[in-house]
Amino acid sequence: MNPEQKHKIQTNFSCLLENLLVGEIADNLFSQCVIEHDDLQRVHAEVTDKDKARCLINILYTKENSYDPFIRELRSIHTYGYLADQLNDTDVEKELEQEKENWMKYLSDALEERYRFVKEKSILENEILMEIKYVFWHDGKEYSEQEVKTSLNECIKMLFPQAIRKKVKRMNKKLWSYCNIDRKEPDTSDSDDDSNTDNVKAGPNETLS
């Protein structure tokens, strides 16, 4: 589902749970290859109708191109046509605008905290993405590389107007790089070192020994 569709589902979540019997819907979505066999078994393994509906909606929420088939299934069952209309008619424009604003601020704050304008310096885009991925992991936020890539250039240009995105040659490969920005110097104060000594946290690709 795209962000708009997810917001429509989220806004109507309680209503869907209270009104849906999803056994037939889940079977049909499996027949259409919208959900997997394991997904179907998870739905039918739930005991109450409300839990079955919650399970199916949570599964659809994480899958691409699942919204339209779900709407078609609702319309195919006469008593659920009103739910399809209610979902499609739900206006989520303000919520999406606010979500984008919050997203851009979060990403901008993360960039501003770690990078600065330095003429004739440069940093590879992939390195920035890796560092931002760590920030998301550290803060417990879901990371989408495609979303970050889409917003990254806009945020950098807003923070550092003289930054230039261009391809550079590294080890016989052409890679995207941002020129005129560099990492900020790390804070190496004794107090920070002392406070962090006993609070080591493994990174997304590390384990603590």
List, in order, residues 6 or more apart from 186 with CB less than 8 Å away: none
Among 41-50, 91-100, 176-185, the range scoring the smallest mean pLDDT is: 91-100
Of the candidates 130, 141, 140, 151, which has an alpha carbon nearest to the alpha carbon of residue 205?
Answer: 130
Supply the pTM of this predicted model: 0.55
Q: Say if CB 74 and CB 28 are below 8 A apart.
A: no
Tell me what the mean pLDDT of segment 110-118 comes to: 92
Q: How confident is the model at residue 209 (pLDDT cuts 50, 70, 90)?
A: very low
Alpha carbon distance 98, 104 (integer Å)? 10
- In tens, the pLDDT along 128-148 reads 999 999 998 999 888 888 888
Q: Say if CB 34 and CB 61 are below 8 A apart.
A: no
Alpha carbon distance 22, 16 (integer Å)? 10
Of the candidates 186, 187, 189, 165, which has an alpha carbon nearest to the alpha carbon of residue 177?
Answer: 165
- In tens, the pLDDT along 163-203 reads 999 998 888 889 999 999 999 887 665 555 555 555 555 55
Alpha carbon distance 173, 152 (integer Å)? 22
